[in-house]
Amino acid sequence: MKILLMGHPNVGKSVFFNRLTGANVTESNYPGTTVDYTKGWMKIDGKDVELVDVPGTFSLDPKDKAEEVAVAMLHENRGALVISVIDASKIERGLYLALEIIEEGYPLVIALNMRDVAEDKNILIDADKLERILDIPVVSTVAISGEGIKELVSRVKEAKPVDVDDIISNATKAADVGAAGDVP
């Protein structure tokens, strides 16, 4: 099995990579630190799994060479599973890339990273509800301090491909329940 760490630039993919594989790729606080992919190995349930730190990309429509590397990496690994790392304080555009990858049929797990930064900005995310709508594991994390990493690893095996139609109908259902709940 192969796992790709994907997400926007500067969301913490390399921090996850170092934590999960014990490797030592450069982590910095600016977008574009990682411009090439790095491979490493991690253990899930006693099995060796290959993990790839992919350069950050905003979408699957590359606009520079680092993004080209990212998109090519995804398309060369049709059977791979993707950990989609999202900056929790910028969740909407993170979901855009996640949905694009879901639509291409890849099994996905979402790491809602930088939960602490989002909370500082007064942004609260209902991860359980997000998980029900997307029908894939969603784990809140703070990668630098290690929070949520274990849970993320333990839930990787629950990742599965989802049909985006199901997500649309789940979202509609959730909205209906929410609306019903508003009635006094």
Partner 1 sequence: MKLSAEERWDLIDRISKETVTFGAYRHTLTDAIGELTIKPLTGIPIAIAVLYGFWSLFGSFAGTLCTDGFFVKFFDGYWLPWLQQVFPGQGNWFYVIMVDAGGIESGEFVLSESSFESFGVLTSGLFLAIGVVLPAIFIFYLMLAILEDIGYMPRLAVLIDTMLHRIGLHGYAIVPTILSLGCNVPGVAATRILETKKQRFIMMTLLAIFIPCGAQIGIMEEVVPDLIGWIMLYLIIGYFIFGYILNKIVPGRAPEFLIDVPPYRRPLARNIGKKIYGRVTGFFKVALPFVLLGCVIVGILYQMGVIQWLGGVLAPIFVGWFGVPPETAGPLVAAFLRKDLAVAQLSTIEMTEYQMITSVVLVSIYFPCVATFAMMLKEGWKDLLWALAVLAVVVFVYGGLIHLIGILLGVA
Q: Which residues make up the interface to partner 1 (CB under 8 A)?
A: 8-10, 24, 26-33, 35-36, 55, 63-66, 69, 91-92, 95-96, 99-100, 103-104, 117, 120-127, 129-130, 133-134, 144, 163-165, 167-168, 171-172, 174-175, 178
How far apart are the C-alpha atoms of 61 and 45, rounded to whole Å? 35
Q: Which residue has the tokens 């590359």?
A: 62
Q: DSSP character for 139?
A: E
71 within 8 A of 31, measured Cβ to Cβ: no
121 phi/psi in degrees, rounded to 5: -90, 10
Closer residue to partner 1, CB minimum distance, 36 or 151: 36
- Residue 172: CB minimum distance to partner 1, A: 8
Question: Nearer to partner 1 by C-beta: 34 or 153?
Answer: 34
Q: Which is nearer to partner 1, 1 or 93 (CB)?
A: 93
Q: Give least dist CB 121 to partner 1, A.
A: 7
Of 156, 148, 151, nearest to 2 (Cα)?
Answer: 156
* Cα–Cα distance for residue pair 121/92, rounded to 1 Å: 15
Closest approach, Cβ 47 to partner 1, in A, equals 27
